[in-house]
Amino acid sequence: MSQASRADQVKIVEVGPRDGLQNEKQPISFEQRKDFILDLMQTGLKNIEVGSCVSAKWVPQMARSDELFAALPQQPDIHLSLLTPNIKGFDAALAVGCKEVAVFTAASESFTQKNINCSIAESLDKFAEIMHKAKQYNVKVRGYVSCMVDCPYEGAIDPRQVAKVSKQLFDMGCYEISLGDTIGTATPDRVKQVWQACLSEMDSQFLAGHFHNTYGMAVANTYQSLEQGIRIFDASLAGLGGCPYAKGASGNVATEDLYYLLSRMGLATGIDEAALMRASQNISAVLQRKNPSNFAQAYAQQC
């Protein structure tokens, strides 16, 4: 894609079925997860993270994500992906024909230990093994770096450390690096510092923003990121989400609110508004709670 057209288009990675549901307190059935994804596939969203191949003892809500992937219709223009922390997870994804996975580490040692039970360096070793096999089987690998500004255990993280880990993932072969404001404490000034550090290492086309909305800053942080040239954002429908190893962290930026910001700024998202709102209403009905998205609330009042 040329720089000119890239400027007007934004890629959204829908992480609701994974980041959203992984932290859900109430049981969500296999069929409900599947229906949620089928709804999302009608919205124009082209990138959907459907689950994670992690230990069900660690994250029970994500059990059977490989089976879930296998139960979904494959459409050439919709990229369905799975989160994989190690080769066991990667093999599970590969066995069901998954062509895109995401590996995940952090810029904080403590968070990496709590989240995936190893150091950052050990996580990169595990990913090198995944990367090797991914190349063999033509599987695309995305990389996540959590704690882009703050760690729930260590506090503030040096932007240079975020840039360093991001570059390591990129050099290893991750085609895109998503930086996570895991606990949603980021503010636009700090987000700008992180992007500036990362942009000295790699081009904006390889970087994505993953903003949790604990303090209501996710839209502001998205706007700051757009100003810095970032054009890829992760989001969860109905603002679902949180990390089981980041206490108090709330959901991702709601896809509805991200869509509102981008579309009203004249940026192309490919989203069908009515279909997005149908999916939004359906998952809110399943979870039986009010949708925190401002756009979803305003839309419901107008209809």
Positions marked active-site: 243
219 within 8 A of 253, measured Cβ to Cβ = yes
Tokens of 33: 């997860």
Report the alpha-carbon distance of residue 230 to residue 142 in Å, rounded.
Answer: 16
53 contacts which partner out of Mg ion, ligand HMG, none, CB within 5 to 8 A by kind? ligand HMG
Span interacting with ligand HMG, options 29-37, 80-88, 129-137, 223-231, rule CB under 6 A: 80-88
Distance CA 87, CA 114 (A): 19
DSSP letters, 94-132, are HHTT--EEEEEEES-HHHHHHHHSS-HHHHHHHHHHHHH
The answer to whether 238 touches 287, Cβ cutoff 8 Å, is yes
Instruction: Considering only CA atoms, give the Rg of the chain.
Output: 18
Question: Which listed residue (14, 22, 233, 292) binds ligand HMG by CB under 6 A?
Answer: 22
Smallest separation, CB 92 to ligand HMG (Å): 6
Q: Which is nearer to ligand HMG, 86 or 293 (CB)?
A: 86
Residue 178 pairs in a beta bridge with: 144, 208
> What residues numbered 127-186 form the site for ligand HMG, per CB under 6 A?
144, 146, 180, 182
Is residue 82 within 8 A of residue 95, CB to CB? The reply is no
Q: Is 40 helix (H, G, I), strand (E, B) or coil?
A: helix
Please pick, from the candidates 89, 239, 251, 292, the single residue that binds ligand HMG as defined by CB under 6 A: 89
Site residues for ligand HMG, window 211-230 (CB under 6 A)? 212
Q: Which does 58 bind (CB under 5 to 8 A by kind): Mg ion, ligand HMG, none?
A: ligand HMG
Residue in 60, 61, 132, 74 with CA at minimum distance from that of residue 103? 132
Dist CA 86 CA 290 (whole Å): 36
* Binding partner at 52 among ligand HMG, Mg ion, none, C-beta below 5 to 8 Å by kind: ligand HMG
Residue whose CB is less far from Mg ion, 14 or 19: 19
Backbone angles phi, psi at 83, to 5 degrees: -85, 135
Cα distance from N-terminal residue to C-terminal residue, the chain:
37
Contact between 262 and 10 under an 8 Å Cβ cutoff? The reply is yes
Between 122 and 273, CB nearer to ligand HMG = 122
Residue 85 interacting partner from ligand HMG, Mg ion, none (CB closer than 5 to 8 Å by kind): ligand HMG
We find the least distance from the C-beta atom of residue 53 to Mg ion, in angstroms, to be 16
The least distance separating ligand HMG from the CB of residue 138, rounded to whole angstroms, comes to 21
The mark string for 33-62 relative to ligand HMG (x by CB under 6 A, - otherwise) is: -------------------xxxx--xx---
Phi/psi of residue 272, nearest 5 degrees: -90, 110
**Residue whose CB is less far from ligand HMG, 56 or 274:** 56
Interface characters, 11-50, with Mg ion (x: CB under 5 A): --------x-------------------------------
- Under the rule (CB under 6 A), what is the footprint of ligand HMG? 19, 22, 52-55, 58-59, 85-86, 88-89, 104, 115-117, 144, 146, 180, 182, 210, 212, 243-245
- Under the rule (CB under 5 A), what is the footprint of Mg ion? 19
